[in-house]
Amino acid sequence: MKTSFSPYAQTMGFEEQRDADGRLVIAMPYSDGVRGRPGFVHGGALAGLLETIAYATLSEALGEDDRPVIKPVNVTATYMRGAVEMTTYARATIERLGKRIANIEAIAWQDDINKPVAMAQINVMLDRSRG
Amino acid sequence: MTVLSRILFDSLCFTFTLGPKRKATGVLHRERPSKWSELRRMNEFPPEFDPARLIETMSRNGHNKLIGTRYHGHGEGWCELALPYSETLVTDIASGILASGPIFTLMDMATSLSIWLKTGTFQPQATLDLRIDYLRPARPGNTVIGHGECYHVTKSIAFIRGHAHDGDPDKPIAHVAGTYFFTASA
């Protein structure tokens, strides 16, 4: 199952897209449900978006034949700008994909990818013990 | 950004500014007048302030409403919120395990509120960074309790930590650490 289509992703209104290079992008349209203080996106919603794109990108990189259970170990989110009332996009880069651990970096932006609103470093464990 | 309900925040600040001026204490007189101390005084809690009511109001708005966070408890410099289990927040239908995003939101809100409860003021603030370690998944069906604590503040930065559990405080499911900055500090 695609991470981005989890009940949580649906609740959040996430949409899967592709950028010009064919890379996976998740869009989070602005709605009252992602609002923190009025006029701004909630930091928790941004973290949820960054985590989701990280897991979706990882899932895609693993391919159809390799389906380990992806277990989040930790997430460090850094907030750089206030995310305002517009769609937020996110994409992730897998820095290392090992047998048991993957290190992923995700960024979120709005109108300009060169002005990210938040980024996250995400470490996950790949559990293949359950086949 | 943090979870603050700006409308409520502004109306509270408004009340303070227009309300009966508090008598300055000796301590305040000795302070060097600065934008910072002025701001602090302006944003001080009124005597009748009830954090539980504020948190309940915030939980009825925006992202907190969508996730379903509720007030659970508070004290000086700490705050506890509850995240009731919901099938709309799971990461995988088969396992029923809660996604990590809602837990991140819960901890962001609990830790940001702990700063207000530490300083006794409503200073506008924004999350600088927040790190969360997921020790184990929350058990499906269980309410998650998020405990946020502000352990140090400087003029511009608040340092926080916290943990979450799903029933037994001695068996945490997650730990957090992070910093916030005061957006209006001099």
Report ipTM (2 d.p.): 0.91
Interchain CB distance below 8 Å, B127 and A40? no
- pLDDT at residue A64, as a whole number: 85
Name the residue facing A11 among B66, B106, B108 (closest C-beta).
B66
* Predicted confidence band of residue A115 (pLDDT cuts 50, 70, 90): very high
Residue A84, helix vs strand vs coil: strand
- pLDDT at residue B35, as a whole number: 64
- pLDDT at residue B145, as a whole number: 98
* Predicted confidence band of residue B173 (pLDDT cuts 50, 70, 90): very high
Q: How far is CA B60 from CA A28, B71, B146, B165, in A?
A: 21, 11, 17, 23
- pLDDT at residue A5, as a whole number: 76
Interchain CB distance below 8 Å, B63 and A40? no
CA-wise closest residue to B13 among B124, B105, B156, B101: B124
Question: Is A75 touching B (CB cutoff 8 A)?
Answer: yes
- pLDDT at residue A131, as a whole number: 52
**Rounded Cα–Cα distance for residues B124 and B182 (Å):** 6
Interchain CB distance below 8 Å, B63 and A44? yes
Question: Among A12-16, A43-47, A127-131, B8-12, where is mean pLDDT lowest?
Answer: B8-12
Average pLDDT score, chain B: 81
Chain A residues whose beta carbon lies within 8 Å of the beta carbon of residue B88: 7-8, 10-11
- If phi > 0 it is left, if psi is from -120 to 50 it is alpha, else beta; for residue A42 that is beta
Question: Is A116 touching B (CB cutoff 8 A)?
Answer: no
pTM over 0.90: no
* Predicted confidence band of residue B4 (pLDDT cuts 50, 70, 90): very low
**Rounded Cα–Cα distance for residues B80 and A29 (Å):** 30
pLDDT tens digit sequence for B125-167: 999 999 999 999 999 999 999 999 999 999 999 999 999 999 9
**Rounded Cα–Cα distance for residues A41 and A32 (Å):** 9
pLDDT tens digit sequence for A58-92: 999 998 888 898 899 999 999 999 999 999 999 99
**Structure tokens of A109?**
């932006």
Contact A49, A13 (CB under 8 A): no
Beta bridge partner(s), residue A91 = A107
B71-77 CB contacts, 8 Å cutoff, 24+ apart: B72/B145, B74/B113, B74/B117, B75/B117, B76/B117, B76/B118, B77/B114, B77/B117, B77/B118, B77/B149, B77/B150, B77/B151
Contact B153, B129 (CB under 8 A): no
Chain A residues whose beta carbon lies within 8 Å of the beta carbon of residue B104: 44, 47-48, 51, 75, 77
User: Nearest-CA distance from A10 to chain B in Å?
Assistant: 8
The length of chain B is 186
- If phi > 0 it is left, if psi is from -120 to 50 it is alpha, else beta; for residue B52 that is alpha
- CB atoms under 10 Å from CB of B61, counted, come to 19
Interchain CB distance below 8 Å, A79 and B66? no
Interchain CB distance below 8 Å, B89 and A8? yes
Chain B residues whose beta carbon lies within 8 Å of the beta carbon of residue A32: 62, 65-66
